[in-house]
Each structure stands twice: as C-alpha cells, then as structure tokens.
Amino acid sequence: PAWDNSSFNMLPNFTLESKIKDEKFIFMAGWKGYYNKTTYQYLAGINPWLQHPTDLLNTKMNELYAGFKGSAGSHFTYNAKVSYLKYSNQPLFVNDTVTGKSFQIVNEPDMKAIRLHGEIGYTEQEKFSLLAGATFTQFSDLQVNEKAWGMLPLEVNGSLRWQLLKDLMIKGDVFFWDGAQYRNKVLQSQKLSAAMDMNAGVEFTVLPQLNVWVQFNNLFNNRYQRWNQYEVLGFNVLGGVVYSFGKSGK
C-alpha cells in the first residue's frame, strides 16, 4: 500500500530468483511498483538549467522484468535484464520559447518503455576492478508529449580502478550515450548528436593522512551537448589535496 498526496495505490512487489549450476547462475523475474519522489533538488540534479517549476508530481513506476545474473570463476561477474516499464506523471524537459536557454518541466501523465540493461565486471581483490554497463530504452505510447524530451535512449559506461602501487591509485571512466530528443524554442522536434567522454585520474598517498589527486576530464576534447544549447567543457585538469585530521590507523 502507498499514498501519494492522499491518493491510495496498491503497488505490486513480486520477485523470483532461481539458482542454477551451483548457484553461479541465477534466473530472476519480478513485478514491482514504486514512486520516484519528484523534488526541485532531484530535477536540478538531472538538469541544472531549469526554470523554477510551478507544479511537482511524483512519478509512479510499474516494472515487469526478467533476466539473469551470475559469476564465472572468482573474479568475473555479469547480469542482464529486460524490463517493461510504465511511467505515470513523468517529468520531461523542454527549452523555453523565448531564448531557449532555460528548461521548462512538462508532465507526461502516461508513458511506456522497453529497457535492456546489462553489466559485466572483473575484480581482483581490492587492487583492480574493471566494470562496464549498457542501458537501451525505447519510449512509446506518450499521451501528451510528442517525444520523451531530455531522456537518453542509450547509455554505455565503463570504469577502471587500479591500485598500481601501495600508495598510487589509477582511475579511469568512459561514457557514451545517444543524443536525447529535444524541442527547440519554435516547438520543433530535434535530436542531439551522440557523444563520448573519457576521464582519467591518479591519487597518491604522500603521508598517512595526506593524499594528492589529479583528474583529467574530457581527454579527447570532444565538443558535445547533453542539454540543447549547453556545450560541455573541453579538456580540463583538476587537482586537489585531501588531509584527514585525527590519528591514522596502523
């Protein structure tokens, strides 16, 4: 049972897992319902160039899914899932019709989607980890809006963490996504270009309580837009020092 602004809903919560092949391969399926709480902070975390929203509605989600997860050996893990999703009151983002530089929140009362998601990982104790994942989502059956404005149809990401030496950590991240649909200020439907980004960094322990780090962002200096009219920064470098107060452990 769940209540949203005094409105009662009975949401499903059924899950099934079946272990196969000595518990290293698990089939999973389920039907789950839940609410995504829509706050100004939540929306600004997705799109920081918002106009102040006048009306906020929580999103009710229903997900019917099936998939599998498991491991191969002691280091390799994987999982994959296909989902049928139903969104009620999903917030979408459209450029304003004056300058197009800010985004208005528009509500989609009913929307459906098919989502494919997969992950693989390789871990060697706490010294090395390599993770990769991909999510493909096809949105359909919108009732009010022409497209799922601002929502990404394809996301691919990977991360590397390598403790090369006792005091030296190497990090790397790569991101790829297909461009989102957007509505320009003359109300035309368009699509942003696909984009790729890669970051790398190092962290070095100088003293037990003192760490120095350097982060290299957008290594290939790619020019792209996650949100229409807002191009990301090109290649840039950040650095910092972390000092932990108090006694250090042995």
Alpha carbon 187 to its chain's center = 27
Structure tokens at 65: 């899914």
pTM: 0.86
Region 238-249 average pLDDT: 81
d(CA 107, CA 91): 5
The stretch 140-169 carries a mean pLDDT of 94
CA dihedral 103, 108, 109, 115 (to 10 degrees): -130
219 DSSP β-pair partners: none
Q: For residue 44, is pLDDT > 70?
A: yes
HSE (CB half, 13 Å, CA atoms) of 207?
9
Q: What are 210-243's pLDDT values in tens digits?
A: 999 999 999 999 999 999 999 999 999 999 999 8
**Nearest CA-CA partner of 87 in 65, 114, 69, 66:** 114
* pLDDT attached to residue 247: 62
